[in-house]
Amino acid sequence: MWGPLLSFAGMASLRTALGFFGVGLWLMSRPGGWAVVVAAILVGVKLLPGGDDATAAIPPAIPFDLPANAPADISKP
């Protein structure tokens, strides 16, 4: 039952992916086109939704609640 629907969706996504690949290949052959491709990739990666792990705060290696003149001695617990 789902076969025809999935096959149409697969064909549409393959056609879109091949179109993007063709435009990227054409841009790479143009002078300065590699910069457009890199910028598009960076914008695309930035706009992709991340999971909870991607947005979790990473604890700092050195605690920032120390006074400005205190030495950061990481050898002492």
Query: pTM of whole model > 0.75?
Result: no
Those residues whose C-beta lies under 8 Å from the C-beta of residue 5, and which sit 6 or more positions away, are none
Rounded average pLDDT per 10-residue block, the chain, 77 residues: 69 83 89 89 79 58 61 59
Q: Degrees (nearest 5) of the Cα angle 62, 68, 70?
A: 70
Q: What is the pLDDT of residue 53?
A: 58
The pLDDT of residue 14 is 81
The predicted pLDDT at position 72 comes to 60
Tokens of 74: 């990481």
Q: Tokens for 44?
A: 């695309």
